[in-house]
Amino acid sequence: MMNTLHKKQPDLEAWEGLYRAALAFRNLKPWEWMQEENVFGVRNPANGEIGYCVITGALGEHFSLGVYLGEGGLQGYEKMASGELEAFEAVLSLDCLMASFEGKDSLESEDLQVIKDLGLRFRGPSSWPLFRRYEPGYLAWFLNEGEAFFLRLALEQAREVAMRCRKNPQSLVPPNKKEGILVRTPHPHGNRYAWHDEWVQPPPPSLEPAFNGIFNELRAQKIRNLNLKPGGTWEIGFFLAPIPIQEGDEKPFYPCVSLIVDHKSGRVLGVDVSHLSSHREKFQELFLKTAEENNGLPREIRVPSEEALQQLQPVADRMSIKIKMSENLDQLEQAMEALLDSLL
């Protein structure tokens, strides 16, 4: 059943339930008394994962319910809310389901077709329900059946929590002054769910794990056996291009572009375009491939970030190459800008 929920597209009955929940939520106008910091949770009965809910619109714009999935989703939201990330980086860090209320121009033909099939009518700004799945590295995309199912439940429970908060603004404050987040938890009750409150300890911020990918020792040894004399400095880094790529019917993704540039001349020595999920392995591979194709190794590697340093440190250590972080990598930045301009 769970696999089916996650692969199928919603049928008209599922869409009807989701729109009904969204309209009830919108008509309540919970943003008139709820703030973004009033975070609460809804547990997904399909897999037990908590969706951390945030209601926006208190400032009179972007009326929505965001359901941030699991600890990673919550931490991504917190990074975005704190301003730690730039706008594009913030969007790419989101792992959530979103129900928002937009103008008609924000909807795609697929959204309008569902609305037409349901016989619904909307008029004016911030009136048209829009449902999207945000996933790190991907373009915001349409919901599948499992996502539509959980978002409907979250909207229904968000409405319940918001009505409580209107009557009692302290209802999201944990009892006995302990830390915790209110989580609405379902229990099967016939063909429905009975919902209960539980208080869950908020997850602590987690550090990005160090990269422990497989290092291609055989290729590295082959390059070492060539006895290449190291010389010069390579600037090496990667960036996410804000231009989605779609392969067949798959969900469009933002490509991760890796570049190797000669520090002195600015000549691009190597380039790779890959998915965010595989770019770490491709990043190491690009270095080995570039060394082979250019029949040479650098004396020094300069990278712009801690993540790039972690990924290339094993390569540099095995090749006895000096590696360091540097804030001023002009050649790399110019190459990235030129490549991005050509893509745009």
Structural domains in the chain? 2-200 (no CATH), 217-343 (3.30.420.10)
Average pLDDT over every residue of 264-271: 95
**Of 5 and 45, more confident:** 45
83: left (phi over 0), alpha (psi -120 to 50) or beta: left
For residue 214, what pLDDT is reported?
53
Copy the structure tokens of residue 150.
């959980």
* Closest residue by Cα to residue 99 from 59, 68, 60, 139: 68
Q: Which long-range contacts (CB under 8 A, 24 or more apart) does 91-95 make?
A: 91/134, 91/140, 92/136, 92/137, 92/240, 92/254, 92/276, 93/136, 94/68, 94/134, 94/135, 94/136, 95/68, 95/69, 95/70, 95/134, 95/135, 95/136
Q: Considering the entire predicted model, what is its pTM?
A: 0.83
- Specify the pLDDT at position 277: 76
Q: How far apart are CA 248 and CA 229, in angstroms?
A: 44
pLDDT at 208 over 70: no
| pLDDT computed for residue 205 by the predictor | 67
Which of 307, 341, 331, 344 has its CA nearest to residue 259?
Answer: 331
Average pLDDT value over all residues in the chain: 89
Pairwise CA distance, residues 66 & 86, whole Å? 19
Beta carbons of 159 and 24 less than 8 angstroms apart: yes
Q: What is the residue type of 217?
A: E
The residue among 23, 82, 102, 75 whose CA lies nearest residue 202 is 75
Task: Give CA angle at 93 (88, 96), nearest 5°.
Answer: 115
pLDDT in tens, 76-128: 899 888 887 776 677 777 899 999 999 999 999 999 999 999 999 999 899 99
Q: What's the confidence (pLDDT) of residue 89?
A: 73
**pLDDT for res 5:** 42
Whole-angstrom distance, CA of residue 183 vs CA of residue 284:
42
